[in-house]
Each structure stands twice: as C-alpha cells, then as structure tokens.
Amino acid sequence: MKSIAWKSLKVLRRVPEVLLALAAMGAPLFCQAQVLSLEDWLESHRTIAVARLIENATKLEGAQSGLIVASPSKEAPDYFYHWVRDGALAMDVMASLSLDGTETERSTAKAILESYVTSTLVIQTVQNKSGGLGEPKFHPTGKAFDQDWGRPQNDGPALRALTLIRWATICMLRGDETYVRKFLFDSKLPSESAIKRDLEYVANHIEEPSFDPWEEVMGNHFYHRLVQRAALEQGATLARQLGDTAAAEWYEKQGNTLGEKLLLHLKVERPGVVTTLDQKGGWDHKRSNFDASSLLAALHTRSSPRFSERISHPSILTLANSLVKYYRTHYQINRGQKGILLGRYPEDVYDGVGFSAGHAWILTTLGLAEYYYELARHLQSASIPFNQEITSHQLVRRALRYSQGSGRTPILSVDAVSRALFEMGDHILLRLKDLLPSDGNMYEQLDRSTGESRGASHLSWSYVSFITALKARESCRAAFAKR
C-alpha cells in the first residue's frame, strides 16, 4: 500500500514550487530510494527533474529568463553560465513538455521556449571571442564570456537549430506560422531569425574544426558532425516547407558532404566509432579515441528520420558494447553489477572539481539506459530490421544472458530480444535509484568507487538526460503494448 507521503507527492505533481520548498525544508515527502518501487521512484524523480529544470531556466537570481544555466553552482566548480549546447538540449525537453506534460508544465514550457527564442536572438548578435555563433557559453545575463576557453564549439548552433526547428513545427501545427516566419525562419540573408542564422552558420562552417562536447580537444568530432548533419537535413525540410528552396538545396548539399565525412569515423571493430579525426589542438592524452559523446550524438538526433538507422548501425552497437566492457572492469562500483555506470572516456581525469581521476557521469549513464530503451522500442515496432547483425551482436547477447540466464540457448524472438534490452535499461535505473540522493539532486558525477555524488549540483544536463531516458522507456512500453 502506498504511503501517505507518496499520495501527497501525486497531489503535488502539478506544483513544482511547493514540491521544491517542501524538499528544501526537509519534509518527509520522499521516502528513501530503497523503499519506493522503481516505478514510484521514476515518477517522483521526474517531477523533481522537471521542477529543477524550470528553476534553472527561470528563477535563479542573476539569470535572464530563457537562458537556462548549466548549474546553480558558482564555486568549485563554477557552472553558473548558459552553455549553448546544454541550453539547446534542455529546451528540447521543454518542447516535449509543451506537448505531453501536465497542464501546468505545458503552459510553463511554452513561456520558457518563447523567452528562449527572445534571448537567443539577442546572444546571436553579441560580440564574442569566437567571432560568431560558435561561442560556447555566455553569462546568464546574456553578456559575452570574455575569458580564455575552448573555442569554437560548433555543435551548439546545430543543436539549437534542431531544438528550434522542433519548436517551429509545434508552433505551425498550432496555426502560428506568423510567429515562425518572424522569429524563427525568415528566409532572409542576412537573417534576423534564430533558426536561419544557426543553419547558415552550420552550413558555412562544416569544414571547420571545433572543440568537442567536453571542451578539451580541437578537431573534427563525430559528435559535432552528426548533429550538424541532422540540423541541415531537418533545416532543409523546414526551409522547403516555408518556400525557401535555395536554402533547402544549400543545406542538403552541405548535409550530404557531412554524411561522407561521418563515414570516416565508423569502424566495424572495437571501438566502433573514432571520436576525433585531424586533431588540431587541446589536450593530447585521449589516445584510445573512443568516447561516450559519440553514443550521445546518436541520441541527440532523435528527431531525425534517420534515427532508427543510426542507433542500430553496427558501429554504434559496437561503440555501446565497447563502453560497457571498459567501464564494467575499470570502475570498482560496476564490478558484479548488471547496470553499468559510464564515464566519458578512458583517459578522463576531471573529477568534478580538479584533475585526478575521471568518474561516472549521470548524463552518460542515463544515455546508455536511453540507448537500450530506444533499441528495444525500434526493434519492437519493426523500424529496425530483426536480423543476424542484431541478434549476434555482443551487446545483445549479453542482455539475453542476463535476462534468460547463462548456459541456456538464447531465445531470439523480437519480443525476447526487445525485453532483454529493456531490462538492461532498467538495471541502470535501479543502480541510480540506489545511489542518487533521496532529495532528487542530480549532480554531474558519481564516484567511480563509492557512488558518492561529485561535481556541480543540480546539473541541468543530468536532469535532461533523466527525462529523455524516462521518455524513451515510456515509448518502449507503449510499443510492447501494441504487439
């Protein structure tokens, strides 16, 4: 029987401000993670994650509404900035909430997205040290960050374009094409609209190296190339829909060029994806050249028509398996566990404050869970072919062993494989259920030995990853229900 505290939480689902206030006062609203079932824990923490994202986007002193900060943390480490990449990922979640959130979440998300568009139009024109739209971060007031940093980071404009294209599509479905043409895509050159500015920047800088998502290495990265290609593909569709045929053809041409360059990163053998080609600068210690960011790249293009093709590509399957194999043995906290916590890359030394040894990251770990759920969903719905390439892969075979037991001839039906992959995602969430603080605070990292939270607290990207993993899980369960 559910506790009174849990019933109270259900009532408060629509009131994130009260929820956060009660948690801050230490009210016994949340039972310990060990007491709640996984389903109850996921629902309670979804509420917290949404509320915290809203908090980071609208209610922090010194921050402009719409310019979501990476974290409220201002000391050790100082993450009180608006990163273009992190902001785009967070606003993509807001776009989802504007469609399928609670009534309060829908209206709040809409207001935040409108503020985001307004703020984006401003910071796109702010003079900065990158000299253009590749500037990675801004003060949350909208002022340029003028200190040394890893510049440019050309994944930011591509991700922002992807998010705003999605928002434009939602607006047009609601009959608000005038808003889209005025603020999002105006078909002018030079443009005065947010999406068009970003797409023109991306299309004209596909040959330019940039820093990776971890802001450490300058080169040509699988991550930024994949999100750039997705932005240009979807940008071409939007441009054609709005009558800008010349732009559509230009974006398609540049997207096809990126498609050819992406093939250079793919390998059949381990690790599956070569993270960086043609390094031009930055740290030189990443010699393994495989990285969880390449798996995140596939997930961050989830709105693309090519999504199922990307996540089931043999190279992405091999990359996911390579990450699992490495972190299962190299992190003490993973030994003997089914649910594996992922770090960023093998040579990582960033510990959340300084530089000693890398740890598990919540956002990469949740990315792996989301990947399992998406594989399961697309197999179940037949948008991924069920063939020997899938059933013989080590990643799938490991999931079947855990699900059906070792020493048995595995059942290789679509349903059996899909459910085994789904269970692998759940094993990861169960690990997080046991390790994360009961107040729902999602930090940046979890200690590789103890599981203790490390780094910046209330990290927006951690909450984003939790919400998208949970969304993938819900979509997977819906696919099971249809069969």
Backbone CA torsion sign across 343, 438, 5, 339? positive
Q: From CA 415, how far away is CA 251, in angstroms rounded?
A: 39
**DSSP-assigned letter for residue 138:** E
Residues 6+ positions from 244 with CB-CB distance below 8 Å: 185, 187
Q: From CA 175, how far away is CA 184, in angstroms rounded?
A: 15
Q: From CA 302, how far away is CA 434, in angstroms rounded?
A: 29
Contact (CB, 8 A) for 473 and 466: no
Active-site residue 212, yes or no? yes
Residue type, 196: K
CB-side exposure of 370: number of CA atoms within 13 Å? 27
Task: Give strand ranges (E) for 152-308.
Answer: 210-211, 217-221, 276-282
Active-site residue 61, yes or no? no
Q: Could you say which of 55, 92, 186, 212 is catalytic? A: 212
- Tokens 């030079």 locate to 190
CA distances to 335, 347, 407 from 401, in Å: 17, 30, 8
Contact (CB, 8 A) for 262 and 222: yes
- What residues are paired with 350 via a beta bridge? 355
Q: Could you say which of 215, 309, 351, 474 is catalytic? A: 215
Residue 453 is encoded by which pair of tokens?
A: 């939270």
Q: Among 354, 418, 468, 478, which Cα is nearest to 90's?
A: 468
Residues 6+ positions from 256 with CB-CB distance below 8 Å: none
Q: Among 237, 138, 141, 155, which Cα is nearest to 198's?
A: 155
Count CB neighbours of 253 within 10 A. Answer: 12
- Tokens 């003028």 locate to 146
Residue 136 is encoded by which pair of tokens?
A: 């990675």
- Which residues carry out catalysis? 212, 215
